[in-house]
Homo-oligomer: A and B are copies of this chain.
Amino acid sequence: MLEHYYALIMAGGGGTRLWPLSRTDRPKQMLKLLGEHSMFELAVDRLKLLFPPERILVVTSAAYAGQLRAQRPELPEENFILEPEPRNTAPAIGLAAVSIHRRDPEATMACVTADHFIGNERRFRDLLVAGAEIAAQDYLVTLGIQPTFASTGYGYIQRGEALGQAGDFPFFRAVRFKEKPREPEAEAMLADGLHSWNSGMFVWRVERVLQEFARLMPDLRQVLAEIEAAPEALEKVWGRAPRQSIDYGIMEGAAAAGAVAVIPAEGLNWSDIGTWDALLAVLPPDAAGNVVVGAEHLAIDSSGLLIHASRSQPRLVATIGLSDLVVIDTPDALLVCPRERVQEVRAVVDALKKGRTEYL
């Protein structure tokens, strides 16, 4: 079965939540957040033990394609599927699905993210294998993450009846998708033991998901059919693709029909690294209790710091008497902020929009 298994890396996202490192033309997936390799490079590399390069595809916007290709030139050029413009995840995944379907009508595809941290890569590959096994039973499979705190930043998936076991992983019928909740609801979902975080990663047979596109998003399915019939029509018809997320456009409706399975994955050491303090949560601290990436840190009476300096030249950062701060150093901009206020990076970005757009 695995010879018909394809991986699709969704690498079209933008965003500047990790400013000053992330910029408009250099979103999170391109960044060397963890040191030597970019998030995209890590996403490719963790798939390589399971998928040959010919079956690793990337969907991204035309604007990012050049940089991403340069980061992993071993992927065939035709495996980069380019959205003429970003129209959210449902059209992007649909476009990739028809592209894979043209190559291999029997294909199963895993849709994975390009910009998330996954600490336990071996378990991640086991999870993808389990996902393919469940997808073979015609479920749309969503990879859930066992919640470790009452996050209000993630979406949640509620599980219903147990459906079986695939490898190490029990799986369940998914009965409800819940977008970012308020805190009381997040607390309740954490406490009831019935919810997983929505990782935004999915596995399904391509023919099966295209059936759901036809049922739930017929306008998009029509656009995709035109592209499948005549790929050169892409630019012309793309503007008719509805701007919609895969969760809202497909998964919710499919779950209502009982067609979605969720694997509540534990032990992945997963994070979407939505804000700088997430690196403090997932990376091991050094002997002084600080997380240091890309810099030499001279710490005097300092702990709980994130020091991040992905620079081409050597960089020494000396701190005296500091705790629980993030220091993010880039060639043209520096951010210093208490770790509990990293959400306010958004306010910095908003301020820059009013006249300092060269730093965005």
A residues contacting B by CB (< 8 A) are: 20, 296, 298, 300, 309, 313-322, 325, 327, 329, 331-338, 341, 344-345, 347-348, 351-352, 356, 359
Contacts and interface: CB of A to CB of B under 8 A. Distances in A.
Given A321-B338, A336-B325, A338-B321, A316 B20 contact: yes
A305 B359 CA distance: 22
Contact of A313 (B315, B319, B332, B337): B332
A337 B322 contact: yes
A191 B314 CA distance: 50
B298 A317 contact: no
Contacts of A314: 332
B318 A333 contact: yes
A303 to B, nearest CB: 14
Copies of this chain in its oligomeric complex: 2
B351 A298 contact: yes
B348 A334 contact: no
Contacts of A334: 309, 315-318, 327, 329, 334
Given A313-B332, A316-B359, A321 B341 contact: yes
Nearest to A350: B300
A300 B344 CA distance: 9
Contact of A336 (B319, B344, B351): B319
Contacts of A296: 356
A359 B329 CA distance: 18
A356 B295 CA distance: 13
A203 B351 CA distance: 53
Contacts of A300: 344, 347-348, 351
Given A298-B351, A351-B298, A351-B300, A344 B332 contact: no
Contacts of A329: 334
Q: Which 9 A-B pairs have the closest CB atoms?
A: A320-B337, A316-B333, A321-B341, A318-B348, A317-B334, A318-B335, A320-B344, A319-B336, A320-B341
A182 B320 CA distance: 25
Contacts of A319: 335-337
A327 B321 CA distance: 13
Nearest to A302: B336
Contacts of A313: 331-332
A336 B331 CA distance: 17
Contact of A315 (B321, B333, B351): B333
Nearest to A337: B320
A317 B313 CA distance: 19
A129 B98 CA distance: 88
A336 B333 contact: no
A25 to B, nearest CB: 17
Nearest to A300: B347
B356 A344 contact: no
B336 A322 contact: yes
